[in-house]
Amino acid sequence: MAFLAPNVVHTQFGRSTHGLAQKRLGGKNCVLMRQNPYGSFFKSLTDFAKGGTVKMSMQVAEKHAVLGNPMEADFASQGLATALVGLGCFWGAERKFWEMKGVHSTAVGYSGGSNAQPSYKEVCSGATGHAEVVRIIYDPAIVSFGEILDTFWDSHDPTTLNRQGNDVGSQYRSVAYYSTPEEKAAIEDSRDRFSEVLQANGYGPVVTEVSEMPTFYFAEDYHQQYLHKNPWGYCGLGGTGLYPLVKEAAAAR
């Protein structure tokens, strides 16, 4: 059973591909999976006949493959909060967050680019400007935004521009999005504290993009919870090992 994500619009009907193509970019294969290009279209026509709005949007499973919670819902009405970050290949990045206590749901997708509802192939080309991102839905009564940031910083190297490990390209850039002034301040404060530690240990400056939260577009369903579905799948993430020093310094204050 699958649903059409209601908050995104697919403006490029006809882009789906029947065949299987593969292109090597950096450390990860950019693969176009075999898809049905017509399923979303006919569901949209049905919705339109009922008086709804036609939306050509990415089709993903209703439930999270690991956590069992909805992939899309009115999360805010449930008292849940949203974080959106990019830290390289989203396959391994998503797992970092679904393992956190208090995280209700995660999804991978694309943000920060120039066109609506990009495909994986388009993002891999670098032409759209999107980053591979993880959307984290969490319960702020259990886990804080600061703790989400701790996992973010600890899980990748924020000093490498448009690269994480063997994965090279602007889609792999380090990015942290905010939706409130408080979140922006928290990102910038943690970034600055981590940057001091990194530069004291021979790293360059942090190059993480800090921007207001843009539209999130779901990635294709086969990307969702990828390392749960493919336990031996590729993961190019590797942190610096230095973020615990930031936590130690904070605790010593």
The yes-or-no answer on residue 89 being catalytic is yes
Q: 92 exposed, middle or buried (CB, 10 Å; 0-12, 13-18, 19+)? A: buried
Could you give the CA distance from residue 41 to residue 85 in angstroms, rounded to a whole number?
Answer: 30
Contacts of residue 221, Cβ cutoff 8 Å, sequence gap at least 6? 2, 58, 59, 60, 61
- Among 30, 89, 124, 235, the active-site one is 89
Phi, psi of 21, rounded to the nearest 5 degrees: -120, 160
Interacting residues of 151 by C-beta distance below 8 A, sequence separation 6+: 96, 97, 100
Catalytic residues: 89
